[in-house]
Structures are given as structure tokens and as C-alpha cells.
Amino acid sequence: MQAAALSDVGLTRSKNEDAYWCDIPRGVFIVADGIGAQQAGEVASIAAVEVISAELTLAVDRGLREAELADAMFDSFRESA
């Protein structure tokens, strides 16, 4: 499998607040859209990627699949909130 990522600041904002992460061997890909109208939107998107990637990496390594992996993903969302 190959993967690529690209993010663009767009036409409205002065900085890019998006964050992304991929773990090709595990097949885990995360995209967090920064909240451009809020202060520190880039901090929130980076923090979300860090927390969620850590949780999903552990979940995949434990052998979780499908519904169990989805539950782990939702748990990581609640933790990052």
C-alpha cells in the first residue's frame, strides 16, 4: 500500500491548521480539520491526531477489528475532547 497526504491553507486563512497522520503497515489514517475560526485550531487538531493515533495503534496491535476497532476509535475521540 502507498499513501500520500497534502493539506493546503486555502484562500481564506493565513495559516494551515489541519493535521494528519498515517501508519501504512497498520492501515490507520487520520485527518483532523483545524477549526480556523477558533483560537489555537492547529493545537486542537494536532492534539487530536496525537491522542487518536496512539489509541488506534494500540487497538490494532491488540488485534481489534471492525466493531471493536470502531469502539476504540470513539473512545479515543472522547479522550481527546
Please choose, from the candidates 38, 66, 25, 54, the residue with its C-alpha nearest in 3D space to the C-alpha of residue 77.
54
| Nine-digit cell string for 24 | 501504512
Helix (H) or strand (E) holding 52: helix 41-61
Mean pLDDT of 61-77: 86
Query: Which comes out higher in pLDDT, residue 60 or 1?
Result: 60
47-64 per-position pLDDT tens digit: 889 988 998 899 999 998
Q: Residue 23 forms beta bridges with which residues? A: 28
Query: Which sign does the torsion angle of CA 13, 17, 18, 22 carry?
Result: positive
Mean pLDDT of 18-38: 86
